[in-house]
Structures are given as structure tokens and as C-alpha cells.
Homo-oligomer: A and B are copies of this chain.
Amino acid sequence: MQIDVIPCVNESRYDEFINKTVIAVDVLRATSTIVTALSNGCKGIIPVETVCQAKNLQENGDLLAGERYCKKITGFDLGNSPFEFMTPEIEGKRIVMTTTNGTRALHKSGKATYILAGAMLNAAACADAVLKLKKDIVILCAGTKDEFSLEDGLCAGLIIEETKRRIELSELNDFAMAMNSAFLHNQGRIEEAILQCSNGKRLCKMGLKEDVLYCAKMNFINTVPFLSGDVMIPYEF
């Protein structure tokens, strides 16, 4: 089993995903929030790219969620903070969600055989899932505005480490080796590393330090969001 890591969405080509399991990673905050929502009883999440699409796809009873520039979209029920997705109001509900980079990563992965959402929170569970799916793996870091984001790279490094603990990997691409090393160097100080990276600092300035600290928790949730048709649902082990 091979793992490739791609540094950001605009670096990826659709054909790289054919016959693979793709794990889309947007630690701050889209995939952390999706993992949290599904582990709190949300029935399914429909990731879309635009506000317009979100409104068009909303059916009776669905909630709308999403952010632009880290802020909730006007008229939407929820933003993109994981803490908003820990309430009983989302239980049994479908949520149509649009975020800046995370949903782009999920859509870019369209040609993959299986598409999962990964975060620090569910890295170990992701490793369990990819072993069951028995395909080579691509970890697609969402990044920010077409640039690499450290927190996504560290998460890729953690998922690789968790997978290595379970099986012997046949190969890692150069970027995967680099991210695995970067994770191992920082594993004793992940919170600090994520607070110091560009998105971590930006969210702290906006008063969202608690979000950053929550998203930095490792292997805290066993839910793996799995794209079934257009809806992310919990992967059934």
C-alpha cells in the first residue's frame, strides 16, 4: 500500500485519484467540523462549493452551514466552528455545507474510488478505514488560497504514522516523507505548532483560539466521514 501526499488543491490533477482512496484534509476547520458533526448525530453532510449551490440543494429540514473568510454566511443556520456542531439540533439532520478550501478538496477528489474526510481528530480512525478499503492512498491537503497550510501537512504526517503502525507501507512519495518527518518532529507540541502556523494565528486573532485547540486534538473521534453519492456519512467499519 502506497501513500502520496499532495500539498494543496491546485497542485492536484484529477487523474491522480483514479483507483485510489483519497483523504481530504482541512484541519482548520472544514474537515474537523465535518468529523465533529457526524460524530454528534448529524445524518449526512453535503459539501458544495458555492453559496448558491447550498441554497439550491437545501431540502425541507436541511440545515445550511458555511463560512467565507472564517465568518458564518448571512442567512445560514451554522458557520464552520466545530463547537456549533455539538448541539442536539443537528441530530438526525442533513447539513448542506460550503467552505472556502475544504469542500473544494472534496470535489477535486471526484475521480477517486473512495473519498474520506480526515482531520487530527480522526487520524487513527482514518488509518483503520483505509486498511479496510484496500486501495493506495492519496492525502489531499486543502491548503489555503492555493498555498500549503502547515496544519494539513502535520495531519497528513499523523495519518501516515497511524497507518505505519498498522501495516508496512510499500512507498511514500517525497512530500509524504517530508510531512511524516515534520509530524514526528512536532508530535510532542502539536498544539503549539498549529497555533504558530498562518491559519492558527489568523483564527486566534479573530477570537477563535478554542477552535484551533480543539482541531489540534489527535485521535479523539472514531468517526470517518465517507462520501456516498453527494453526501458524507459515517463510514461503517
Contact = CB atoms under 8 A, between A and B. Distances in A.
A180 to B, nearest CB: 9
Helix, strand, loop or mixed for chain A's interface?
Answer: helix
B174 A197 contact: yes
Contact of A7 (B7, B184, B185, B197): B7
Interface in A182-220: 182, 184-186, 193, 196-198
A148 B182 CA distance: 15
Counting every copy of the chain, the complex holds 2
A24 interface: no
Contacts of A154: 178
Interface string A162-182: 000000000001110111011
A179 B198 CA distance: 15
Interface residues on A, range: 20 to 34
Given A11-B11, A182-B182, A185-B182, A148 B177 contact: no
A147 interface: yes
A174 B198 contact: yes
Given A7-B7, A11-B11, A148-B7, A181 B186 contact: yes
Interface in A72-109: none
Interface of A: 7, 11, 147-150, 153-154, 173-175, 177-179, 181-182, 184-186, 193, 196-198
- Which 9 pairs from chain A and chain B are nearest by CB? A150-B174, A185-B185, A181-B185, A181-B182, A178-B182, A182-B182, A148-B175, A174-B197, A153-B178
